[in-house]
């Protein structure tokens, strides 16, 4: 007399589903779901007439969950930032996971600018902001030097927030290495990534506070906010 029954497979599959629904980690949830779908297959095959419909759905569910598990595994692999990327993280995204730093960098572009190039022209509203990684940007008005921005400073942020065309010019005073983001692209990304948005807003607030502090220190430089 045999105590084995095809029902054992469906019972085991449902137990695995119960475990899947009780775990908090999404990766483990999907792995248990894959196991449940696979273990349920013999139950459908060993019936007097193969249950093709639930068998097909089990295969589909197993494939979907297996694919999503692989994506989650790839996302969780540790990433190594280059020295330059790590510098960006230190300057503006401290506390943000390395993978998120790579994401926000991927929607921007690295730029290398020679001395004497214009980043902001008088009378125009910039459509992008730049994070200075190395080098210096000098602001002038009618030939008068208003101030300099260096590593960690954002170029164009205050103008974009105010919506007022610039009444100063921003020219590179030293060879510049920076990350530049188009405003529309950056806004879309930050709307979909609240963690990065919070870090970016914190750095933006710090950036503006530093610029305002410079005004308080030297009121004559009233145009030195960019």
Task: Look at the chain and report how many structural domains it folds into.
Answer: 2
Q: Looking at the structure, do residues 62 and 94 belong to the same domain, yes or no? A: no
Core vs surface per residue 186-199: b (16+ CB within 10 A) or e:
beebbeebeebbeb
Averaged pLDDT for residues 92-99 = 88
pLDDT of residue 45: 94
Only one residue has tokens 């208003």, namely 146
Core vs surface per residue 135-157: b (16+ CB within 10 A) or e:
bbbbbbbeeeebbebebbbbbbb
Q: Looking at the structure, do residues 58 and 88 belong to the same domain, yes or no? A: no
pLDDT of residue 123: 84
172 — phi, psi (to 5°)?
-70, 125
Query: Which CATH number belongs to the domain containing residue 97 in this structure?
Result: 2.60.120.10
Q: Looking at the structure, do residues 104 and 200 belong to the same domain, yes or no? A: yes
pLDDT of residue 88: 95
The predicted model scores a pTM of 0.65
Listed residues 26, 60, 76: the one ending a domain: 76
- What token pair was written down for 172? 């590179």
For the cut 60, the answer to whether the pLDDT of residue 222 exceeds it is no
113 — phi, psi (to 5°)?
-125, 135
pLDDT digits (tens, 9 = 90+) for 74-89: 888 888 899 999 999 9
pLDDT of residue 202: 87
CB-based contact 177:134 (threshold 8 Å) = yes
CA-CA-CA-CA torsion sign (126, 130, 132, 134)? negative
pLDDT of residue 141: 85
Only one residue has tokens 């921005």, namely 149
Averaged pLDDT for residues 89-106 = 91
Please check whether residue 65 lies inside any domain of the structure. yes
Listed residues 25, 58, 76: the one ending a domain: 76
pLDDT of residue 124: 84
Q: Looking at the structure, do residues 99 and 190 belong to the same domain, yes or no? A: yes
Q: Looking at the structure, do residues 125 and 61 belong to the same domain, yes or no? A: no
174 burial class (0-12, 13-18, 19+ CB within 10 angstroms)?
middle
For the cut 50, the answer to whether the pLDDT of residue 25 exceeds it is yes
Listed residues 43, 60, 76: the one ending a domain: 76
Q: Looking at the structure, do residues 88 and 161 belong to the same domain, yes or no? A: yes
For the cut 90, the answer to whether the pLDDT of residue 4 exceeds it is no
Please check whether residue 15 lies inside any domain of the structure. yes
pLDDT digits (tens, 9 = 90+) for 117-135: 988 888 888 888 999 999 9
Domain that holds residue 165: 83-217
Q: Looking at the structure, do residues 95 and 194 belong to the same domain, yes or no? A: yes
pLDDT of residue 38: 96
CB-based contact 93:190 (threshold 8 Å) = no
CA atoms within 13 A on the CB side of 119: 36
Residue 178's pLDDT band (cuts 50, 70, 90): very high
CB-based contact 166:126 (threshold 8 Å) = yes
The DSSP 8-state label assigned to residue 152 in this structure reads T
Q: Which among 10, 9, 28 is positioned nearest to 19, based on CA atoms?
A: 28
The per-type count for the chain, helices as H runs and strands as E runs, is 8, 8
Please check whether residue 146 lies inside any domain of the structure. yes
For the cut 60, the answer to whether the pLDDT of residue 91 exceeds it is yes
- What token pair was written down for 183? 């405003």
Residue 164's pLDDT band (cuts 50, 70, 90): confident
pLDDT digits (tens, 9 = 90+) for 34-54: 999 999 999 999 999 999 999
């Amino acid at each position: 007399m045999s105590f084995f029954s095809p029902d054992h497979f469906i019972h085991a599959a449902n137990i695995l589903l119960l475990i899947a629904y009780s775990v908090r980690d999404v990766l483990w949830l999907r792995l248990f779901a894959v196991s449940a779908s696979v273990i349920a297959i013999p139950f459908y095959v060993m019936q007097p007439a193969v249950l093709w419909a639930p068998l097909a759905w089990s295969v589909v569910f197993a494939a979907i969950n297996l694919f999503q598990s692989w994506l989650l595994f790839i996302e969780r692999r540790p990433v190594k930032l280059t020295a330059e990327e790590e510098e960006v993280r230190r300057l503006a995204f401290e506390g943000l996971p390395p993978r998120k730093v790579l994401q926000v960098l991927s929607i921007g572009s690295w730029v290398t600018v020679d001395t004497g190039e214009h980043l902001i022209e008088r009378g125009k509203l910039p459509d992008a902001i730049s994070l200075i990684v190395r080098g210096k940007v000098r602001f002038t008005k009618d030939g008068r030097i208003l101030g300099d921005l260096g590593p960690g400073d954002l170029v164009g942020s205050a103008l974009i927030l105010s919506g007022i065309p610039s009444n100063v010019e921003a020219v590179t005073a030293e060879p510049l290495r920076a990350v530049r983001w188009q405003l529309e692209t950056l806004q879309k990304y930050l709307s979909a990534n609240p963690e990065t948005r919070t870090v970016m807003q914190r750095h933006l607030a710090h950036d503006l506070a530093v610029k305002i502090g410079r005004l308080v220190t030297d009121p004559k430089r009233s145009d030195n906010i960019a």
